[in-house]
């Protein structure tokens, strides 16, 4: 998405219970046409799905080449650095999406605070971020390793690393309140493609059950719904 290197653009995740799965599920649960501000569109892979579902979309993307490909799926579009984006909307959107974006920003809480005025009185933000307290990262540290990569939790373009507790703290610092958190599993199907078949589906369900039970240890990412404070519920 927007704040990721254009050399390594992220794509739509296909395996079950990933961050795109939950983002689309949260939006689908609203059961009505929505106005959505998508921060970090990449080439529009998520926007294409949302547009097909009948939603009104505005996109923001830093990378010019990705933005040019994405804009066909959006009703409005801005090619700009999100940290310089002025959020020129007032009480307009039902959802603002920050999918795999905030960890790439210098001051993510400040960006969230600037975004709040764009939400209508029922509006929410959906945020997905990687979990640096994942068991795999803990084991790496146990053996004295901290190795950056092109993707994943230790993506070398990440400026911040979050646990569930520090994620909630950052959201609170931006004057939002978390109303739902779901974990996502490690993408076993990508690591071991042979498991991406129906015969392994029960094992993936058991894996995700374990992730739900021990999310701070086993979650690959957290997907969060949050609303501005103060708000009556």
* Per-residue model confidence as pLDDT tens for the chain (233 residues): 444 443 445 667 778 999 999 999 999 999 999 999 999 999 999 999 999 999 999 999 999 999 999 999 999 999 999 999 999 999 999 999 999 999 999 999 999 999 999 999 999 999 999 999 999 999 999 999 999 988 889 999 999 999 999 999 999 999 999 999 999 999 888 777 788 888 988 998 999 999 999 999 999 999 999 999 876 44
> Can you tell me whether residue 204 is helix, strand or coil?
helix
* Number of alpha carbons in the 13 Å side-chain half-sphere of residue 2: 27
Contact yes or no for 57/73 (Cβ under 8 A): yes
Is the sign of the CA dihedral 207, 13, 169, 118 positive or negative?
A: negative
User: Which run of H or of E encompasses 35?
Assistant: strand 35-39
Q: For the chain, what percentages of helix, strand and coil (3-state, to nearest 5) are there?
A: 40, 25, 35
Whole-angstrom Cα distance, residue 141 to residue 211?
Answer: 21
């Amino acid at each position: 998405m927007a704040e990721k290197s254009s050399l390594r653009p992220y794509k739509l995740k296909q395996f079950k219970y990933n961050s795109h799965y939950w983002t689309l599920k949260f939006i689908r649960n609203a059961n009505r046409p929505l106005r959505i501000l998508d921060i970090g569109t990449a080439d529009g892979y998520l926007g294409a799905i949302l547009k097909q579902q009948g939603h009104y979309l505005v996109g923001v993307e830093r990378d010019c080449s990705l933005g040019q490909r994405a804009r066909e799926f959006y009703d409005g579009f801005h090619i700009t650095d999100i940290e310089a984006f002025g959020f020129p909307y007032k009480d307009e959107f039902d959802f603002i999406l920050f999918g795999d974006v905030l960890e790439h920003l210098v001051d993510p809480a400040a960006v969230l605070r600037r975004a709040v005025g764009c939400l209508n009185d029922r509006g929410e933000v959906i945020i997905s971020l990687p979990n640096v307290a994942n068991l795999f990262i803990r084991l790496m540290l146990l053996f004295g390793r901290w190795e950056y990569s092109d993707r994943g939790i230790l993506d070398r373009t990440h400026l911040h690393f979050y646990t569930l507790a520090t994620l909630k703290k950052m959201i609170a610092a931006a004057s939002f309140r978390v109303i739902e958190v779901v974990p996502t599993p490690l993408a076993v199907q990508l690591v071991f493609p042979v498991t991406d078949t129906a015969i392994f589906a029960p094992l993936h369900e058991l894996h995700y059950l374990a992730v739900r039970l021990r999310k701070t240890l086993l979650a690959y990412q957290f997907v969060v719904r949050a609303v501005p404070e103060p708000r009556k519920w």
